[in-house]
Amino acid sequence: MKSISVFPAAVRVGLLALVAAGCEANHHHDHHGHGAHSANASASPGALPSASSHSASVAFSPDGNRLVGALPPASSSAIASANTDGVFTPEPPATPQQDSGAGVGYDKTPVIPGQKWRVHDKDRPVPPIVAPGARFSHGAPPPSDATVLFGGQDLSKWELPDGKPAPWTLRNGFFQVAPKTGSIQTRQEFGDCQLHIEFATPSAVEGSSQGRGNSGIFFHADFEVQVLDSYNNRTYADGQVGALYGQWPPLANPVKGPGEWNSYDIVFEAPRFDTAGKLSRPGFLTVILNGVLMHNRKELNGPTHHQVVDPYKPYNSRGKISLQDHGNQTRFRNIWVRAIGEYN
């Protein structure tokens, strides 16, 4: 059957002109490739290089349905591409270069139950790097049934473990860790829940591995989703951003650069215990970072602790949400939580 072009001649001329103009304006648009990016503390986070002139050789395919030819690689996400139905859709960001450096971690820690890897195993492969979209749930407003834990005004919903007011530093619409003042926790307890939280690691890059932009989100004091600057920063796989710390590396590494805001959407299902204190259902975590799935209802082996394997300890399946003081000035904003209900 003869292919019929979905683009009239006049439209094709106009599209080619748009592509040429786009190449001029968007050449050298820089996606932050984690592995290829060299962190620079003096650079402004998220800044783009200045545009430069560049020409492209493009044309329509013989059937008139596709653009073909040489486009500048960096401009491909800014230029729309046509599919065979004539509908233009933006291309996703280019995949950054994967870090292939030497392993970081340990080789004498316990083997994780049900796995072949040790806790923080230095030989465990790190997850692939994925360039996230510009925004996902950043700035997401809380639903009507959510409890707002931080809306930009104060830290009244947070406290130190001894009940004293949270001493972290409040800024314009966010708060940040005040190093060596201690981790903070919610005043309220929660059971199974859906948590939205946004974080940014320091824009001034200091330290490496676990010493760079480190914090953590703890459920019920024992189950951690790692917060870390994993942008061009090699560490052990089960300790990088999005890891269920010491147990499961994330499926991908879509973290944004230092100083840029990331969004976490997390579903936590607390473990259950029978009347005799025996585990009747393990805990589970579902984690999405910047729109990329990190864990899909992943089972927890027990508490997530450093260099050790610990068993579950019975409790009433309710607890507080904590943010870790690990000595880095990591920032947080827009935090809200919803209780998970039961099906009829």
Residue type, 233: N
Same domain, 314 and 181: yes
Asked if residue 42 belongs to a domain, the reply is: yes
Same domain, 64 and 179: no
Asked if residue 104 belongs to a domain, the reply is: no
Please tell me the distance from the alpha carbon of residue 60 to that of residue 82, in angstroms, as a whole number: 10
Same domain, 47 and 189: no
Same domain, 153 and 288: yes
Please report, for residues 8, 84, 291, the alpha-carbon distance to residue 3 in angstroms, rounded to integers and kept in the order given.
Answer: 13, 11, 38
**Residue from 188, 186, 181 nearest 155 by CA:** 186
Please tell me the distance from the alpha carbon of residue 94 to that of residue 309, in angstroms, as a whole number: 38
What's the pLDDT at 49? 35
Please tell me the distance from the alpha carbon of residue 63 to that of residue 1, in angstroms, as a whole number: 12
Same domain, 14 and 158: no
199 near 213, Cβ under 8 Å? no
Asked if residue 138 belongs to a domain, the reply is: no
Domain end (from 56, 74, 90): 90
Please report, for residues 56, 61, 77, 316, the alpha-carbon distance to residue 67 in angstroms, rounded to integers and kept in the order given.
Answer: 12, 6, 14, 61
Same domain, 317 and 169: yes
Please tell me the distance from the alpha carbon of residue 263 to that of residue 279, in angstroms, as a whole number: 32
H or E element that contains 16: helix 9-26
User: Tokens 């999405």 belong to which residue?
Assistant: 288
pLDDT tens string, the chain, 344 residues long: the values are 444 444 444 444 454 444 444 444 444 444 444 443 433 333 333 333 333 333 444 444 444 444 444 434 433 333 344 444 545 455 566 555 555 455 689 899 999 999 999 999 999 999 999 999 999 999 999 999 999 999 999 999 999 999 999 999 999 999 999 999 999 999 999 999 999 999 999 998 888 898 888 999 999 999 999 999 999 999 999 999 999 999 999 999 999 999 999 999 999 999 999 999 999 999 999 999 999 999 999 999 999 999 999 999 999 999 999 999 999 999 999 999 999 988 99
**Residue from 339, 344, 342 nearest 144 by CA:** 339
| Residues with Cβ within 8 Å of residue 94, at least 6 apart in sequence | 31, 33, 73, 74, 76, 77, 131
| Pair of tokens at residue 54 | 């560049």
What's the pLDDT at 52? 38
What's the pLDDT at 211? 80
Same domain, 218 and 285: yes
Give the CA angle between residues 322, 132, 244 to the nearest 5°. 35
Asked if residue 130 belongs to a domain, the reply is: no
Asked if residue 103 belongs to a domain, the reply is: no
Same domain, 215 and 78: no
How many folded domains does the chain comprise? 2
Which domain does 247 fall in, by range?
Answer: 147-339
Asked if residue 33 belongs to a domain, the reply is: yes
Same domain, 188 and 325: yes
CATH number, position 212: 2.60.120.560
Question: First-to-last CA distance in the chain?
Answer: 54
Domain end (from 67, 90, 113): 90
User: Tokens 């139905």 belong to which residue?
Assistant: 85
Please tell me the distance from the alpha carbon of residue 139 to that of residue 89, in angstroms, as a whole number: 24
Same domain, 241 and 321: yes
Asked if residue 134 belongs to a domain, the reply is: no
Same domain, 86 and 152: no
Asked if residue 124 belongs to a domain, the reply is: no
Same domain, 159 and 295: yes
